Amino acid sequence: MRTIQLLVLLLLVFTFNSSIHTVYAANVPERSGAVTDPAGLFTVEQVKQLRETLQDQSFELVVVTAKGLDEEAIQQFGNDVYNTWKLGANQLLLVVTDKPGTAQLVYDNEQMAKAVSRTDAGNAQGIIDLQYKPLAAKGSMIEGIKSVSNYVNGLNVPVTKEPSPQPVPSGVGVTPPVQPSASEGAPGSVTPVPPKGETPTAPVASSPSGHVGGTGASDGANPNSSWTASIVTIIVSILIVIGGIVYMIMMKRSRRT
């Protein structure tokens, strides 16, 4: 009986601890330029130095710091930050923590992914392992960050042209577009036809499994829903812990009687 009680208590503690990590991951800080340091890992001078180094690059490396994140939590945190900050195809997010061996690179650029796959790194996690971790392990996180930026900008990947909003002539009303149904196109729309000899391809979308190692950010993530789910998880975990404690007290009293 004592063994069962111990196992139940350990399970409750594990569930509660996982809930705390989930809440931390959902807490996205407000962005402050190329380097956002809510964890306080850098001095003011180091932040200034990093911002000067990372600016004016073809691919902008955006850095955010965090503390106390394990491997699972840092993946969720990186995806939440990437989506909340609405980073573009020419921007990469680097999450660095107080643990030199824990970092994540997140991006959503097919051309970048293909270029990295042809290198010794192989993927985003490989870039972290080769460019960041060795320097961070020696106490030089700044140089590790610079090394990641230099690496991705040295791959000669063509910069993706961001679409610009089309100006609307003054005095001309705008008619809301008609939303097409699931099986029909919009009235008057034309389905693009690929040139002869080419096979039509579907839009590339990042999958959740692609985030391991920072290969991309999942589309449609809502930080508000993550935060709500985290609060619910904590409440449920607390109730479970209280229930477990009450159960053990009742069992002790029943044995005495």
Q: What is the mean pLDDT of the chain?
A: 74
- Range among 3-12, 25-34, 68-77, 118-127 rated most confident: 118-127
3-state secondary structure of 66: strand
Residue/partner pairs of 121-124 with CB below 8 Å, 24 or more apart: 121/151, 123/213, 123/215, 124/213, 124/214, 124/215
Question: Running DSSP on this structure, what letter comes out for residue 4?
Answer: H
**Comparison of pLDDT for 102 and 162, the residue scoring more:** 102
Q: Which of 62, 65, 75 is nearest to 21 (CA)?
A: 75
**Model pLDDT, residue 254:** 73
Whether the per-residue pLDDT at 103 is higher than 90: the answer is yes
User: Who has greater pLDDT, 6 or 121?
Assistant: 121
Residue partners of 90: CB distance under 8 A and separation at least 6: 58, 59, 60, 109, 159, 160, 162
Lowest mean pLDDT among 8-12, 77-81, 151-155: 8-12
Q: What share of the chain is helix, strand, coil (3-state, %, to 5)?
A: 50, 10, 45
- At 18, is the pLDDT very low, low, confident or very high (cuts 50, 70, 90)? low
> What does the pLDDT look like over 57-80, one tens digit per residue?
999 999 999 998 888 899 999 999
Q: What is the pLDDT of residue 162?
A: 66
pLDDT-based confidence at 8, cuts 50/70/90?
Answer: low
pLDDT band at 248 (very low <50, low <70, confident <90, very high): confident
pLDDT band at 113 (very low <50, low <70, confident <90, very high): very high
pLDDT in tens, 84-98: 999 999 999 999 999
178-200 pLDDT, tens digit each:
444 444 444 443 334 444 444 44
Per-position DSSP letters for 153-181, written without gaps between them: HTS-PPPPPPP-PPPPPTT---PPPPPP-
- The set of residues, in sequence order, having a beta carbon less than 8 Å from that of 68 and lying 6+ positions away, is 24, 97, 98
- Compute how many other C-beta atoms are within 10 angstroms of the C-beta atom of residue 157: 19
In this prediction, residue 45 carries a pLDDT of: 96
**Which among 149, 25, 1 is positioned nearest to 78, based on CA atoms?**
25
**Tell me, what's the pLDDT at 64?**
97
Tokens for 29? 């800080």
Query: By the 8 A CB rule, do 75 and 213 touch?
Result: no
Cα–Cα dist 215/203, whole Å? 17
pLDDT value at position 240? 79
* H-run or E-run covering 95: strand 91-97
Rounded-to-integer distance, Cα 244 and Cα 164, Å: 57
Q: Can you give the pLDDT at residue 72?
A: 86
**Sign of the dihedral through C-alpha 119, 201, 105, 162:** positive
Question: What sign does the dihedral 193-197-200-204 (CA atoms) show?
Answer: negative
Question: What is the band of 257 on the pLDDT scale with cuts at 50, 70, 90?
Answer: low
Question: 51 to each of 9, 60, 97, 108, 215, how far by Cα in Å?
Answer: 47, 10, 18, 22, 24
